Amino acid sequence: MLFVLGGSVLGALGLARIRAAREHPETKTWGDGPILAMALLAIVLTFGLSLLVPPNTIGLDPDVFVTGKASLVLALVPAAGLVLALLLLVSRRIPARFGVLVAGLPALHALVTYAPGLVPTGVMPPLPAGAPLIRVAVVNDRWNFFATPRAIVPPNLLAAAKIVDTGGYDSLIDRETKEILDRVNGADSPPPENGNMMFVRSTANVDQLRSLGVGELWSRTPINGLPILGEENGVVRQRVGGSLLQVEGNMGSETASAFRLRPDGIDAPAGGAARVSALWRNLPGWTLNGQPVAEGPFLSGSATGSGPVEFRYTPPGLRIGLAVSGAGLLALLVLFAVSGRSKGKPEVV
């Protein structure tokens, strides 16, 4: 976030300085210097602080930390360019049109330091090879402000490996999801230090985990006598046996394993099914084969015919928001065009 804000400030000021140079080429000012310096500092601190922290305090593999240190050398090139751009903008001797450098250098900075994945904050920890398209419950150790966090997988990070997590970390998590996790845990899900972190505790009810579609439980030590699937990188994988998708048809109930996640929903080959249940939270905006999904905590509905079952999600208000934003942007462009044309007209005396 610091990098995005810092880069946006630099880019905006750089582009504004280009326009100012065209209208008032004789003007040279130091006025933007403090703002530019703060933006530059935010960008550098985004990765610089993490590189200075010893590896045992952030839970990174030593090899990964060495890679992160090596990225500091690469970061010197764009950092030097940003300092140069800063000097160009505030200098009284160099034309302000060089502000174009500031608009482009944040992108160069991101390309060199972040895109290759060299910054430690972007490293995916080693994970067990879980089966695809299953929900996993990860039992993380409790952390606090006075102890180093040693989580198996931080909440929401499993999404990078395309594995569905039971917990989560989101300030916008809905109330019903938290209530469901509280019932599973038999206690408040987040640790006292951070109310946005939803953990699965070692005391979680296995039957309720199974009812949430949890297929595996990952922990440091075996829990609740569940069958052990294996151990890898210090993580014990245990079978819970839940399924994310349940199909009820003329031949009885079965688990549908051949389903596919899409960016906008879920596909399942369940032709002729009487009822299909997908254990994802049922939020406003979900449809089943084009029709709104019935109310309930999870996705479910009746499906007929031989075609696939298609759950689709469109955020409420998305189309209206896009239309309003597009109209506003168009009006802004027209305003700029009219304003520029009126300034270019000669005064009549």
Question: For the residues 306-315, what does the mean pLDDT come to?
Answer: 81
Cβ contact 141:154 at 8 Å: no
Cβ contact 90:35 at 8 Å: no
Residues with Cβ within 8 Å of 206's Cβ and at least 6 positions away in sequence, in order, are 224, 226, 240
Q: Which of 27-36, 128-137, 170-179, 318-327 has the lowest mean pLDDT?
A: 27-36
Cβ contact 209:137 at 8 Å: yes
What pLDDT is attached to residue 255?
55
Q: Which of 4-8, 92-96, 276-280 has the lowest mean pLDDT?
A: 92-96
CA–CA separation, 139 and 133 (whole Å): 19
Helices and strands of the chain, counted as H and E runs: 7, 16
pLDDT in tens, 243-255: 888 777 654 445 5
Pairing of strands 286-288, 291-292: antiparallel
What is the pTM (predicted TM-score) of this model? 0.58
What pLDDT is attached to residue 232?
81
What pLDDT is attached to residue 217?
92
User: DSSP letters of 124-187?
Assistant: PPP---PPTT-EEEE-PPP-BTTB----SS-TTGGGGGT-EESSEE-TT--HHHHHHHHHHHTS
pLDDT in tens, 102-124: 555 555 655 555 555 444 444 44
Is 167's pLDDT higher than 70?
yes
The two tokens of residue 131 are 């089966």
- How sure is the predictor about 242, in pLDDT bands with cuts at 50, 70 and 90? confident
Q: Where are the domains of the chain?
A: 2-122, 135-239, 245-313
Higher pLDDT, residue 344 or 218: 218
- DSSP code for 314: -
Q: For the chain, give the mean pLDDT.
A: 69
For residue 275, what are the β-bridge partners? 248
Is 139's pLDDT higher than 80?
yes
